[in-house]
């Protein structure tokens, strides 16, 4: 296959101010795998996948993500503690320093693109200090053919220098690491962190500005797959709620696991060319497709291996956020190209650690808009300190850290699309049942899958008054039965065996919703406000 040919190509980076010739351009995945091991930066696991440690950072650093305030962004970006402004002059100075640093390094350069729909294609040149970061770019971005590489004109450049440490006083960063987007210069400048997720989420954030502002397309932090009848399902959710897990379904073709656009032609396209799955407690039995994707070509991050290279997926001694990246073709059942049509169902995934939201419920259009703006999930407290209260966590559009515009902008677009295409919207609690975190248990993956399959097969779709119970606190429609799921599981109250404790906790959550929604009240119309919980504690 041409993409994996062991070619030696050359490229000049003179235009960026990089003068040396120690540049590896467009190396194959195998070459990068081997070089990483040869440089002692990684090992081969018994599954064949490369295993690396990303260093000091094993997750993104949202407080160190900046956007350059310039003519393009100044009056469009929703500035604040999510989109932190950075001065153009400071960017130029820091950029210069990073380039001077990279001028002394062996470099790994890759041309790739984002967006599976042709007319939205964004050409990207990725410049990495480390071979495994460049292999990550191979896995995660879309891969141009040999033909497309002829005369490839990069539009955006990702500069990734994990070993470069900023000096906050001089460089105007918060600390030594940074990820800065510059829309005028079309550069994502990343330094001081080796966490690969910064690379993909940098381009995602750029697209989340470009697509709605210039291309009338809604960008979404969601996964997507398509059924045999050509119906597309999309799954929104914050980190850890199940986007990757639930979209990887042997009975449906995977479109993508994290970043998509919904066009004015009503198609849904993947931005990426690969998946980035959490592997904490991964098992072959529960998640055979993802497990099977962990082979040569995949990169495991921050996992613990024994002497024979076997991975212990239960070991979280480096981080809970252990990951694997792989090109999408490591999954057997995929949609090619990664584009879906005919969106029929939208799922909002939430990991409710209070254990009070129904495992599945149907939302009215008002409720859908309200829940999208709210973007609820919960954080569970550190496990070592014993049982501590879960914390509600609200992130607008189920992805606020990546959304440069005001949430209302995306919500407006989504509402319009949902109404136009007549989709059904479902709230799925992949979190706790039988009590809150510490008392109850995580919802069985088997049950969540059965509920989603029931929706997609039309077994829950028919609305009749008797088939649903309207939740007295949240107002959502909770199905009374579902194939493959014990009836009791469908009612969170029933699983608690303690009505008083259940309602107390449900009110605690409904109050948290109300508190969070205050900041959107001014921008929300009556229709959206009506979608909130029906009852609160006073």
Residue positions annotated with a catalytic role: 60, 201, 221, 239, 243-244, 258, 323
Stretch that binds ligand ATP, among 180-188, 270-278, 383-391, 481-489 (CB under 6 A): 270-278
Q: Is 60 in the site for ligand ATP (CB under 6 A)?
A: no
Count Cβ atoms below 10 Å from residue 500 Cβ, excluding itself. Answer: 8
Minimum Å gap between C-beta 257 and ligand ATP is 6
CB neighbour class for 412 (10 Å; exposed up to 12, middle 13-18, buried from 19): middle
Q: Is 88 in the site for ligand ATP (CB under 6 A)?
A: no
Residue 232 annotated as binding? Answer: no
From the list 244, 302, 345, 374, which residue makes contact with Mn ion (rule: CB under 5 A)? 244
Residue 39 annotated as binding? Answer: no
Residue 237 annotated as binding? Answer: yes
Angle at 190 between CA 212 and CA 379, to 5 degrees: 70
Query: Is 353 in contact with 360 (CB distance < 8 Å)?
Result: no
**Mapping DSSP to helix (H, G, I), strand (E, B) and coil, where does residue 452 land?**
helix
Provide the angle, in degrees to the nearest 10, between the axes of the packed helices 131-140 and 197-214. 40
Q: Is 280 in the site for ligand ATP (CB under 6 A)?
A: yes
Residue 55 annotated as binding? Answer: no
The DSSP call for residue 341 is: -
Binding partner at 246 among Mn ion, ligand ATP, none, C-beta below 5 to 8 Å by kind:
ligand ATP
The strand pair at 23-25 and 107-114 is best described as: parallel
From the list 243, 330, 344, 493, which residue makes contact with ligand ATP (rule: CB under 6 A)? 243
**Footprint of ligand ATP on residues 439-468 (CB under 6 A)?**
442-443, 445, 448
Minimum Å gap between C-beta 489 and ligand ATP is 11
* Pick from 330, 321, 324, 317: nearest CA to 50: 324
Element (H, E) at 110: strand 107-114
Number of residues near Mn ion (by CB under 5 A): 3
Binding partner at 253 among ligand ATP, Mn ion, none, C-beta below 5 to 8 Å by kind:
none
d(CA 427, CA 40): 46
Q: Is 243 in the site for Mn ion (CB under 5 A)?
A: yes
Q: Is 492 in the site for ligand ATP (CB under 6 A)?
A: no
Stretch that binds Mn ion, among 76-84, 225-233, 255-263, 415-423 (CB under 5 A): 255-263
Strands annotated E in 263-365: 268-270, 274-278, 299-301, 304-305, 311-312, 323-327, 339-340, 343-350, 360-363
Site for ligand ATP, rule CB under 6 A: 237, 239-246, 258, 276-278, 280, 430, 442-443, 445, 448
What residues are designated binding site for ATP?
Answer: 201, 221, 237-245, 287, 323, 448
Site for Mn ion, rule CB under 5 A: 243-244, 258
């Amino acid at each position: 296959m041409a993409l994996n040919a062991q070619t030696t190509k050359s490229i000049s980076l003179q235009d960026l101010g990089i003068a040396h010739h120690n540049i590896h351009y467009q190396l194959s995945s195998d070459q990068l795998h081997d070089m990483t091991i040869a440089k002692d930066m990684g090992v081969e696991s018994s599954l064949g996948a490369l295993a690396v440690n990303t260093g000091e950072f094993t997750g993104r650093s949202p407080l160190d993500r900046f956007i350059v305030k310039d003519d393009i962004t100044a009056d469009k970006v929703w500035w604040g503690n999510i989109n932190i402004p950075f001065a153009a002059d400071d960017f130029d100075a820091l950029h210069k320093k990073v380039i001077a640093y990279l001028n002394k390094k062996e470099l790994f350069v890759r041309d790739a693109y984002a967006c599976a729909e042709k007319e939205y294609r964004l050409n990207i040149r990725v410049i990495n200090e480390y071979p495994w970061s460049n292999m990550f770019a191979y896995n995660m971005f879309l891969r141009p053919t040999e033909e497309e590489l002829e005369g490839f004109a990069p539009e955006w450049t990702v500069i990734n220098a994990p070993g470069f440490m900023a000096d906050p006083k001089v460089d105007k960063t918060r600390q030594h690491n940074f990820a800065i987007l510059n829309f005028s210069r079309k550069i994502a400048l990343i330094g001081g962190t080796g966490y690969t997720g910064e690379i993909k989420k940098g381009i995602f954030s750029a697209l989340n500005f470009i697509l709605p502002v210039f291309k009338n397309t809604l960008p979404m932090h969601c996964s997507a797959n398509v059924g045999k009848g050509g119906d597309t399902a999309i799954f929104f959710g914050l980190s850890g709620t199940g986007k990757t897990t639930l979209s990887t379904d042997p009975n449906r073709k995977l479109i993508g696991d994290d970043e998509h656009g919904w066009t004015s032609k009503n198609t849904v396209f993947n931005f990426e060319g690969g998946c980035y799955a959490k592997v904490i407690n991964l098992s072959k039995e529960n998640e055979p497709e993802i497990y099977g994707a962990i082979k040569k070509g995949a990169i495991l991050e921050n996992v613990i291996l024994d002497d024979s290279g076997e991975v212990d997926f239960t070991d979280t001694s480096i981080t809970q956020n252990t990951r694997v990246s792989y090109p999408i073709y490591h999954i057997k059942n995929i949609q090619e190209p990664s584009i879906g049509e005919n969106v029929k169902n939208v799922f909002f995934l939430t990991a409710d650690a209070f254990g009070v939201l129904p495992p599945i419920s149907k939302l009215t259009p008002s409720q859908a808009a309200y829940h999208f703006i709210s973007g609820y999930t919960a954080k569970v407290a550190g496990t070592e300190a014993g049982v501590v209260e879960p914390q509600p966590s609200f992130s607008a559009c189920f992805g606020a850290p990546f959304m440069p515009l005001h949430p209302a902008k995306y919500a407006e677009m989504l509402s319009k699309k949902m109404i136009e295409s007549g989709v059904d919207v479902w709230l799925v609690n992949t979190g706790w049942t039988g009590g809150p975190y510490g008392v109850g248990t995580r919802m069985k993956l088997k049950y969540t899958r059965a509920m989603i399959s029931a929706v997609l097969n039309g077994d829950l779709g028919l609305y009749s008054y008797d088939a649903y119970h309207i939740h007295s606190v949240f107002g959502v429609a909770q199905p009374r039965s579902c194939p493959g799921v014990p009836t009791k599981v469908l009612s969170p109250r029933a699983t608690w065996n303690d009505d008083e404790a259940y309602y107390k906790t449900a009110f605690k959550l409904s109050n948290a919703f109300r508190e969070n929604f205050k900041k959107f009240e001014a921008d929300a119309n009556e229709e959206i406000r009506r979608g909130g919980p029906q009852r609160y504690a006073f």
